[in-house]
Amino acid sequence: MLTTLAVLMGLTGLTPAAQAGGSEVDVTLVLAVDTSRSMDFEEIGIQREGYVEALKHKEFIDAVKGGLTGRIAISYFEWAGYVVQDSVIDWQVIETEEDAIAFADKLEARPIATQRRTSISTAIAQGASMIVSSPFPSRRQVIDVSGDGPNNSGDPVTPARDKAVEAGMIINGLAIMLRPSDAPNGLDKYYADCVIGGPGAFVLPVRKIEDFAVAVRRKLVLEISDLSLPATVQKIAGAEAGTDCLIGEKQWRDIFDR
């Protein structure tokens, strides 16, 4: 299997295959959803329900219709230490309420399972690869990463992030902060400094499980519309000296060095 950096090498300056043909959309959006074992089955289930509910919500559908072309292309996959291959839902155009419900139904039908480790870099590489091969040209290409911990497997996250951003993609984050994080200064700050990138990139924290559906919906609406960021969303400000983007890898090594 190619490493994350091998997948991303050469993306800079690469025109997505979408430019060769297909129907134009406002946004090509990849949903990259963490299913690592640091979340239990109840939390994974509520996370799934949050995405299904958000995709069917009138606010999301109205945001799609309000775009320049009135349609987006969306895809989905689950990840932990690796991409769960049978979780991939390929590109589908969302233009009507029926389109959104059909995509949400595909997601809802997936079995719920968890996997080991956390490789955000692998998730970014998968999302970038899917965007490059998308058949739909778009004004914006967005990788939407949700997760509950720092990168601790595979390649380091920042080079993967930087390659995707150099290729013109935007990476946004949903930081799931239901439990104390391995990121010392908070998972939202780790995501802000180490994961997200591109023009207008942001991270939205979720601190209570009952807020998940609303947070997902707000995030999707922000990603496909020109709405200004609410005060609870942290914009990217560049990595700060106090942020260790290798904290997850170091903590994992410490477990085996004891």
Number of domain units in the chain: 1
State the pLDDT at residue 225. 86
In the numeric block, the tokens 């509910």 are attached to 53
Write down the pTM of the prediction: 0.87
Does 58 fall in a domain?
A: yes
Helix or strand run (H / E) with residue 69 = none
State the pLDDT at residue 42. 80
For residue 191, the domain's CATH number is 3.40.50.410
Determine the Cα–Cα distance for residues 29 and 26; give it in Å rounded to an integer. Answer: 10
Does 250 fall in a domain?
A: no
Give the range of the structural domain holding residue 152, as residue numbers without chain letter: 25-227
End-to-end CA distance of the chain: 30
Are the beta carbons of 92 and 104 closer than 8 angstroms?
A: no
Does 1 fall in a domain?
A: no
pLDDT in tens, 32-85: 999 998 877 888 888 899 999 999 999 999 999 999 999 999 999 999 999 999
Nearest to 1 by CA among 154, 117, 161, 144: 154
Are the beta carbons of 196 and 38 closer than 8 angstroms?
A: no
State the pLDDT at residue 45. 86
State the pLDDT at residue 161. 97
Residues of the chain with pLDDT under 70: 1-22, 226-242, 252-258
Q: What is residue 88's three-state secondary structure?
A: strand
Does 94 fall in a domain?
A: yes
Q: How many residues would you count in the chain?
A: 258
